[in-house]
Chains A and B, each alone.
Chain A
Amino acid sequence: MIFSPIGFRATSARPAIRMLARLGRLAIPFSVIGLLAGCATAPPMQTAPVPTMKQPPIPPSVQAHPLIMPTIREQNLPAPNSGMSGGMSGGTGMNAAPMQAAPTASAPAVHALIVRAEHQTKAGDLGGAEATLERAVQIQPHDPRLWMDFAQLRLAQSQAAEAEQFALRAVQYAGTNQELSAAWLMVAKTRDAQGNVQGAAEARRKAGSQPLQTQG
């Protein structure tokens, strides 16, 4: 089994400066996602790249907050059973409808946790952020946004190989083209961090976008 205890002790022992440097790097992909999400949902106020800077550090329980990648999936999903039930049944009972289980009613909870994790990350508590994201992923294991955040966190923890796996999982659950593109870009980034130039290029190609500006 693969166990790599995340360096709680290691990270906390490191100088704060290095943490700040990391946070700097962190800001880039968040803003990329933010931009993409902004495109998807259209309201112009959403395009602010890093909307969380003004927040006080780690509220014990989190208040509602403008989110980076908000309710895209919910808005775009068809209502369950909408016009599909009739035509589906065939010769066997195997024809379960290929549909989303339910639009996520837990969105506010997951969003609250995402915000909490962001605050924890900003405060340098990467272990805490990790625990918070795990709570969220228990609630919504198919939410690509959560796997993106996990990938980002692993990058911040200098675990690029693991970050790549999380990014691949975000690819798996990406529901919209924007999400898909953002997820592949994240894969590219994690491959960059591992020195896998070819793999990164491949991921960027799958992101289906411009070669993109070089990343830190």
Chain B
Amino acid sequence: MAARKKPVKKSSAKSATPAKRFNLKGTLIKLFLIGSLVVAGLVTIWAYVLNERVVDRFSGTLWKLPATVYAAPQEIYVGQHLSPSELVSELTNLHYRDRNDLTETGTFDRVGNEIRIHRRAFDFPDGQEPDKQIRVRFVNEDVVGVTDASGADIGITRLEPMMIGQLYPDVNEDRILLSAVQVQKDAPLLIKTLITTEDRDFYHHHGVVPSAVLRAFLVNLTSGHTVQGGSTITQQLAKNLFLTPKRTIERKVAEMIMALEMEWHYSKDKILEGYLNEVYLGQDGSQAIHGFGLAARYYFGRPVDELRPEEIALLVGMVKGASYYNPRRNPERAKNRRDTVIDLMANNGLISETEAGVLKQRPLGVLKEKGTTSPHPAFLNLVQRQLAEQYNPEDLKTKGLRIFTTMQPRVQAALEKSVDALDPIEKAHKYAPDTLQTAGIITSIGTGEVQALIGGRDPTFEGYNRALDAQRQIGSLIKPAIYLTALSDPAKFSLITLLDDSPVTIDQKGSEPWTPKNYGGQFLGPTPLYTDLAESRNVPSIKLGMDVGLDNVADTLHKLGGPQIKPFFPAMLLGSMTMTPFTVAQIYQTLSSDGFYSPLRAIRSVVDSQGKPLSRYPLTVTKVADPNALYLLQYAMQGVVSDGTARRLNKTIPPSVGVAGKTGTTNDSRDAWFAGFTGNRVGVIWVGRDDDKPTSLTGSSGALPVWAAAFKPLYNKPRDMTPPKGVSFQRVDVALQARVPAQCPGILMPFISGYEPQAVQDCQGNAPDGTPGAPGDSNPLSPILNFFR
């Protein structure tokens, strides 16, 4: 390269030496020769330095590789409730093909009650699942057999997990990496158009086209300032990768040198690939949009191979100036530029003239909102936060991490679809469309894995994540904490303890006395504790809370996974404190898990690109409540659904599931909540308005329908209602506060053993002779219950 400069210097030396004296002439020639050598040497060193930079950058990975995020894999096991069509849709989502012949991996075949799968191999963090033929036998919607090709039972297996996104755990930079070979195959028009528009000789030059440089030089000279680049794709890439955008002669020369060096070292494909991924195509807030992969998603919400010709033309046209031709801000300019590119395409035979005419008629077709969102941005958002909290930042810089999450695609899909339940609610209440907002979380019983999460009504919108960030009053969702505190003192409280539902005024230090009211305004006198919870009676709940002590309620709430609230004011017994839906889910997770607290997790494990686990965020459990008291509470919460404020749920979810839950409604119906659990999942739904204006909704009319819509398509395992060893069921007469024989009217209630009602009455309310309060054997269930002890 230095050699090329020499003639230039020489010629200038010649023209600058009109020598008169022989000696002088000789000296000058010598001087110029030496000078030229020095310049050549310096240029060589410069070129060498630049070369180092080029090689250094290209030898490693050109860009930070994003971490790949996976959903939880589909497990397939004997005894699982899974319909053949669910499995087929799962396979289809993983791009398995329906083939009779299963010789290739990634194929399946449905034969009667059996689905045969040739599963792809996958390296899970806990071991490899080899490529393997699997047979899954169904009876109705249950898996009854999982065998290998030889018919040997394997009990359980799993498919490879679905990829749900890519993210950069440590930087605010996004890029969807394309491979040149892949793009050549899937979207050849993109490459052809790009080359036609930007660098027609790309496959023939050596990085720099001298004639083009010369032409640009002349144009710039005559116009007095730099207008034309005359840059090849290689030069543009050199500039983008290594140089600042400032235009000086020095930069230009460096750019050319580096372009030549890149061409010397690397293939056209490699350079093109670099270009496809590096070219600047817009700005999304603080994030630069680099590369066609990301741009295709940002502007059209689609992968590159699904772009239509006019969309390709737009993106390629934008290379010239991504902000000047920004189709969202400057649509007319962008359209003109696009049409220019379409003409170029036609002139060069990439498309026909008539086609060009049709394409130019089409609108830009750019998405109104950016389409870079992952399909499940709210969930990924949680993943990103938990990564930052739980993993070493240094580890997260590792290239190509694989992140295994807890998301269950089917559950996530059901939750995302459930927001449709808000449309009829808005219609019925004559609200403008999209008045209501929502957030929801579904977790797994027992382990606290977050299976699904939505941060708003548009689940694809990547923005305000209400599930994690909306601080809303929780209303009556607080009540289980009050009742659990009470039931943990069995000497004083049982489910049939009569609470006084009558007017009360509470004196508060430093503020007006408070006279709380019931929803509906009536007072019912003495009512049993379980009814007060089922019907969410305010006044008896407040009295109960005052009775057990505000600090104790605060303590229970905190232990269950809620925030530590101090001081705890009486009004907080009606849930005047704010929490995020995520925190509420944490509390109800503990309630559903029999009093064992497990932090909600979105990540199972993270491994590096070699498959080495970074660390695991393991399952932990902490016993935070008396399981017996909690059983009683769950029983009462089941009453919320069977007989109480959430009874409309029975229309959607069969009562046999035994859903336990709680509705919540705050002042002026600003917030509607439902939190409830089945035998396999916990769900929390919040509905309200972003501007915190009142609605006329209750937990039951606003949030419960969304919850029901989310759970309806899922398999809901009936809750296991086996009483723990410290609980016994008794037939009781609530009004008499006494046990009654089996033939008497009465209800069956669980009690903490040793604290059953002592009194025994006959059907008329008289104490029967000879049975003075011996506990136990009047219970018709005893023989059965003894099985469980």
A96-B638, A138-B444, A168-B623 known; A1 vs B599 contact (CB < 8 Å)? yes
Partner of A63, one of B130, B146, B154, B731: B154
- Give chain A residues whose Cβ lies under 8 Å from the Cβ of B264: none
Q: Which stretch, B62-70, B235-243, B296-304, B611-619, touches the partner chain A? A: B611-619
Q: Does A132 contact B (CB under 8 A)?
A: yes
Complex-state Cα separation, A44 to B474, whole angstroms: 57
A61 touches B157 (CB 8 A): yes
Q: Which residues of A contact B142 (CB under 8 A)?
A: 105
8 A Cβ contacts from B429-457 to A: 444-447, 449
**Nearest chain A CB to B620's CB is how many angstroms away?**
6
| Structural contact, A165 and B655, CB atoms closer than 8 A | no
Instruction: Determine whether the beta carbon of B747 is less than 8 Å from that of A95.
Output: yes
Contact A112 B620 (CB under 8 A): no
CB distance from A117 to the nearest CB of B (A): 9
Q: A residues within 8 A CB of B227? A: none
Of A84, A97, A162, the most chain B CB neighbours within 10 A belong to: A97
Q: Are A93 and B615 in contact (CB under 8 A)?
A: no
User: Is there contact, CB below 8 Å, between B599 and A94?
Assistant: no
Are A101 and B719 closer than 8 Å at their CB atoms? yes
Give the contact stretch, choosing among B164-172, B323-331, B511-519, B721-729.
B721-729
Interface size on A, residues (CB 8 A): 69
Pair B613/A127 contact, Cβ less than 8 Å: yes
SS of A interface (majority): loop
A88 CA / B749 CA spacing, docked (Å) = 10
Find out whether the CB atom of B658 lies under 8 angstroms from the CB atom of A112: no
Check if B445 sits within 8 Å of A131, measured CB to CB.
no
B623 contacts which of A1, A93, A108, A169 (Cβ < 8 Å)? A169
Instruction: Tell me whether A169 and B156 are in contact (CB under 8 A).
Output: no
Cβ-defined partner of A134 (8 Å) among B447, B639, B642: B447
User: Of A5-13, A21-29, A196-204, which binds chain B?
Assistant: A5-13
Residue of A nearest to B73 (CB): A135
- Tell yes or no: B547 within 8 A of A by CB: no
Contact status A127-B599, CB under 8 Å: no
B784 in complex: contacting residue of A62, A99, A138, CB < 8 Å: A99
Q: Which residue of A lies closest to B788 (CB)?
A: A175
**A5 with B390: in contact, given A90-B731, A91-B746, A112-B156 (CB under 8 Å)?**
yes
Establish whether residues B447 and A62, one from each chain, have CB atoms under 8 Å apart when the complex forms. no
Whether the pair B615, A8 counts as a contact (CB closer than 8 A) is yes
Set of chain A residues within 8 Å of B530, measured between Cβ atoms: 94
Q: Tell whether, in the assembled complex, residue A101 and residue B77 are in contact, meaning their CB atoms are under 8 Å apart.
A: no
Name the residue of chain A whose CB is nearest to the CB of B615.
A5
Whether A48 is near chain B, meaning CB under 8 Å from some CB there, is no
Is A162 in contact with B720, judged by CB distance below 8 angstroms? no
Please, which residues of chain B bring their CB within 8 A of the CB of A106? Answer: 77-80
Q: Which residues does chain A contribute within 8 Å of B604, judged by CB atoms?
A: 131, 134
Check B618–A2 contact: CB distance below 8 A: no
Interface status of B389 (Cβ within 8 A of chain A): yes
Residues from chain A with a CB closer than 8 A to the CB of B124 are 131
Could you say which of B148, B620, B638, B746 has the most chain A C-beta atoms within 10 Å of its C-beta?
Answer: B620
Does A122 touch B at the CB level, under 8 Å?
A: no
Question: CB distance B78 to A105 under 8 Å?
Answer: yes
Kindly supply a per-residue 1/0 record for chain A positions 102-145, scoring 1 wherever the CB is within 8 Å of any chain B CB and 0 otherwise.
Answer: 10111111011100000010000101101110110111011000
Partner of A165, one of B594, B622, B746, B788: B622
Interchain CA distance A113-B722 in the complex, whole Å: 25
Shortest B419–chain A CB gap in Å is: 26
* B648-669 interface code vs A (CB 8 A; 1 in, 0 out): 0000000100100000000000
Are B126 and A2 interface neighbours, CB within 8 A?
no
Cβ contact within 8 Å between B446 and A141 = yes
Residue of B nearest to A130 (CB): B618
> Cβ of B746 and Cβ of A99 under 8 Å apart?
no
The answer to whether A138 touches B449 (Cβ under 8 A) is yes
Shortest 5 CB-CB contacts between residues of A and residues of B: A141-B446, A105-B79, A106-B79, A112-B155, A109-B77
| 8 extra interface residue pairs, beta carbon distance < 8 Å, beyond A98-B729, A111-B155, A128-B127 | A3-B389, A4-B620, A63-B153, A87-B742, A101-B717, A131-B605, A131-B616, A137-B447
Interface residues of A (CB under 8 A from B): 1-9, 58, 60-64, 76-78, 82-84, 87-88, 90-102, 104-109, 111-113, 120, 125, 127-128, 130-132, 134-135, 137-139, 141-142, 150, 162, 165-166, 168-169, 172, 174-175, 180
